């Protein structure tokens, strides 16, 4: 269908103010936070489930591609409409419909910004734990579609563990309401699990019932530095093996620390070649005793420096060190290919040793930091001149080597960000052939005309 006709029919369906082809709107909806974009023909700003249903019924009849967009803060090109067609933005569906602490639920529209939900729940003394670093800009719908995680997922689990109910509009415009406000539910298949992480390929999420839990009243933190990455990784195992389950356990390597020293000043970043951040939360008395016990454990393990924070300001100052890492790597002026790979926790040292060897081989620096407790390390290949095709081939070769090694170690090519288009090339080789076939069969069953987010990994 020609573009003008498509736009007119959509205006007839949902109204002029919800449909745009303005240059700036098309540009904004062509790309997320990854490198490559593609323009849609038109953007529809849905304001209700009824709008989404109308667009999908129409798109299904006309066989027009539809790509859903939350906040566009994805790291893998998931919201990029590679086949053009319609981008359906749920950004205007941003109401928090209900927070009910008696039931331990929050019911939200998909465009709600994750940080806004956390704050609203926190005001009532409750907690929505999944905490992607992008939480001030990403949406809950996007988090559901990517099964987002973050530092606190070591203790609290990822987005999937906080989704009790979903309303989903399917490719043909039909609506399915899954789960509800009960914290346990074994009434049929785990269909919620099928949609969480489906990256907009199986349906469009239009309402989410989230599980919320009481907010721990106290927290304290440790910032420890070590002579080597291996020492810090050994400390991770010792903390967990010692019977402690920190709220967060974050590790960084020497390239990351040096970049942070250059960017924020060496006074703020402790000496040493590796850094460990430990957060303990819970009731004040147990936090006090646990933080001391973990601190003395780290001392016994020979950490070079150890700082303890027992109040909010001190904890935030330690988190600032962690938050500085990403910005410091960007400040190097190199392009950061951030690969959120995950390996079994016992393989962390092997992984980082491999990355040190890989950087010699490919001639590009590699920075590793992230969620040590989960084995989910962000491996950042730092590329100089990414627009140069020769450099691009070399960086792709480095990624080939990295992903091959991750798979050899029993790991996965994405722990958080998803596959999108960024990792499409590696997807088939990264999962079992039976699992790949199941992905394809599900896609065909739910979206036989391949109109939902086409051109991606299934």
Ligand X SMILES: Cc1cc2nc3c(=O)[nH]c(=O)nc-3n(C[C@H](O)[C@H](O)[C@H](O)COP(=O)(O)OP(=O)(O)OC[C@H]3O[C@@H](n4cnc5c(N)ncnc54)[C@H](O)[C@@H]3O)c2cc1C
Among 138, 248, 377, 398, binds ligand X (CB under 6 A): 138
417 makes contact with ligand X (CB under 6 A): yes
Residue 209 sits in the site that holds ligand X (CB under 6 A): no
Residue 380 in the binding site for ligand X (CB under 6 A): no
The one among 41, 51, 167, 199 contacting ligand X by CB under 6 A = 199
Q: Is position 148 an interface residue for ligand X (rule: CB under 6 A)?
A: yes
Stretch that binds ligand X, among 135-143, 210-218, 343-351, 400-408 (CB under 6 A): 135-143
In whole angstroms, the minimum distance from the beta carbon of 37 to ligand X comes to 12
> Which residues lie closer than 8 Å to 7 by C-beta, 6 or more apart?
19, 21, 41, 42
Distance (Å, whole) CA 217 – CA 402: 41
CB of 159 to ligand X, least distance (A): 8
Q: Does residue 143 bind ligand X (CB under 6 A)? A: yes
Q: Are 91 and 138 in contact (CB under 8 A)?
A: no
Record the tokens describing residue 167, joined without a space: 């309303």
Any contact of residue 47 with ligand X (CB under 6 A)?
no
Number of residues that bind ligand X (CB under 6 A): 35
Q: How far apart are alpha carbons 53 and 60 in whole angstroms?
A: 10
Residue 86 Cβ vs ligand X, minimum distance, rounded to whole Å: 12
Q: Give me the phi and psi of 321, to 5 degrees please.
A: -60, -45
85 sits near ligand X (criterion: CB under 6 A): no
Residue 173: how many CA atoms within 13 Å on its side-chain side? 15
- Smallest gap from residue 200 Cβ to ligand X (A): 3
Retrieve residue 112's tokens: 């709600």
Q: Coil, helix or strand for 258?
A: helix
Interface pick for ligand X out of 19, 32, 219, 275 (rule CB under 6 A): 32
Rounded Cα distance between 15 and 107, Å, is: 27
CB of 74 to ligand X, least distance (A): 3
Show the site string, 59-78: x = touches ligand X by CB under 6 A, - = not: --------xxxxxxxxx--x
- Under the binding rule (CB under 6 A), the answer on residue 453 touching ligand X is yes
User: Between residues 67 and 273, which has the closer beta carbon with respect to ligand X?
Assistant: 67
3-state secondary structure of 244: coil
Q: Which residue's beta carbon is nearest to the bound ligand X?
A: 142
Smallest gap from residue 243 Cβ to ligand X (A): 27
- Residue 374 to residue 357: CA distance in whole angstroms: 23
Q: Is 280 exposed, middle or buried (0-12, 13-18, 19+ CB in 10 A)?
A: buried
- Does residue 142 belong to the site contacting ligand X (CB under 6 A)? yes
What one-character-per-residue DSSP string does 209-243 give? EEE-EEPPSEEEEEEEEESSHHHHHHHHHHHHHTT
Q: Shortest Cβ distance from residue 416 to ligand X (Å)?
A: 3
- Binding span for ligand X by CB under 6 A among 10-18, 58-66, 127-135, 311-319: 127-135
Q: How far is the CB of 190 from ligand X (least distance, A)?
A: 18
- Is there binding between residue 339 and ligand X (CB under 6 A)? no
33 binds ligand X (CB under 6 A): yes
Quickly tell me which residue has 């719908």 as its tokens.
141
Residue-wise burial string across 101-112, b where 16 or more C-beta atoms lie within 10 A, e elsewhere:
eebbbbbbbbbb
| 180: nearest Cα among 161, 164, 168 | 164
Choice from 163, 204, 212, 352 touching ligand X (CB under 6 A): 204
Q: Which is nearer to ligand X, 51 or 231 (CB)?
A: 51
Tell me the two tokens of residue 433. 């052939």
Per DSSP, the three-state class of 289 is helix
Nearest approach, Cβ of residue 7 and ligand X (Å) = 21
Please answer whether residues 421 and 31 qualify as being in contact, where contact means their C-beta atoms are separated by less than 8 angstroms: no
The least distance separating ligand X from the CB of residue 108, rounded to whole angstroms, comes to 11
- Does 84 sit near ligand X (CB under 6 A)? no
Contacts of 16 (CB under 8 A, 6+ apart): none
Residue 150, both tokens:
């973050």
Nearby residues of 22 by Cβ (< 8 Å), 6 or more positions away: none
Using CB under 6 A, which residues numbered 268 to 327 contact ligand X?
none
Q: Which listed residue (139, 223, 225, 380) binds ligand X by CB under 6 A?
A: 139
Stretch that binds ligand X, among 9-17, 197-205, 227-235, 361-369 (CB under 6 A): 197-205
Q: What is the DSSP letter of 179?
A: E
Which residue, 133 or 233, has its beta carbon nearer to ligand X?
133
Would you tell me which residues interact with ligand X (CB under 6 A)? 32-33, 67-75, 78-79, 90, 110, 132-134, 138-139, 141-143, 145-146, 148-150, 199-200, 204-205, 416-417, 453
């Amino acid at each position: 269908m020609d573009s003008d006709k498509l736009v007119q029919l959509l205006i007839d369906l949902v109204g002029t103010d919800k449909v745009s082809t303005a240059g700036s709107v098309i540009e904004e909806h062509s790309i997320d936070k990854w490198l490559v974009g593609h323009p849609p023909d038109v953007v529809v700003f849905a304001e209700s489930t009824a709008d989404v249903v109308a667009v999908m019924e129409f798109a299904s009849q006309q066989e027009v591609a539809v790509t859903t967009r939350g906040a566009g803060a994805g790291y893998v090109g998931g919201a990029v409409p590679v086949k053009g067609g319609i981008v359906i933005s749920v950004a205007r569906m941003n109401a928090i419909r209900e927070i009910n602490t008696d039931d331990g639920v929050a019911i939200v529209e998909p465009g709600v910004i994750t940080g806004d939900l956390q704050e609203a729940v926190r005001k009532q003394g409750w907690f929505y734990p999944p905490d992607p670093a992008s939480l001030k800009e990403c949406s809950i719908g996007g988090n559901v579609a990517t099964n987002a995680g973050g530092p606190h997922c070591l203790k609290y689990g990822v987005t999937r563990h906080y989704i009790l109910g979903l309303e989903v509009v399917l490719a043909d415009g039909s609506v399915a309401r899954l789960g509800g406000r009960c914290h346990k539910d074994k009434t049929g298949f785990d269909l919620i699990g099928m949609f969480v992480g489906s990256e907009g390929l199986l349906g469009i999420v239009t309402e989410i019932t989230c599980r919320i839990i009481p907010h721990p009243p106290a927290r304290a933190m440790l910032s420890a530095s070590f002579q080597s990455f291996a020492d810090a990784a050994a400390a991770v195992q010792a903390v967990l093996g010692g019977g402690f389950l920190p709220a967060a356990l974050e590790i960084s390597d020497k390239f990351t620390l040096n970049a942070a020293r250059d960017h924020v000043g060496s006074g703020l970043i402790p000496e040493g070649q590796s850094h460990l951040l430990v957060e303990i939360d819970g009731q004040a008395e147990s936090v006090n005793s646990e933080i001391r016990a973990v601190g003395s454990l780290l001392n016994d393990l020979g950490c070079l420096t150890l700082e303890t924070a027992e109040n909010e300001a001190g904890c935030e100052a330690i988190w600032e060190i962690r938050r500085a890492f990403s910005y410091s790597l960007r400040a190097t002026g190199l392009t950061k290919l951030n690969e959120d790979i995950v390996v079994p926790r016992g393989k962390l040292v092997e992984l980082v040793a491999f990355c040190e060897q890989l950087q010699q081989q490919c001639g590009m620096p590699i920075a590793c930091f992230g969620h040590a407790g989960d084995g989910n390390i962000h491996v950042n290949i730092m590329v100089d001149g990414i627009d140069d095709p020769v450099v691009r081939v070399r960086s792709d070769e480095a990624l080939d080597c990295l992903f091959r090694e991750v798979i050899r170690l029993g790991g996965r090519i994405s722990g958080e960000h998803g596959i999108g288009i960024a990792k499409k090339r590696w997807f088939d080789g990264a999962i079992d052939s039976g699992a790949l076939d199941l992905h394809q069969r599900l896609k065909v069953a739910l979206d036989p005309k391949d109109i939902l987010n086409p051109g991606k990994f299934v």
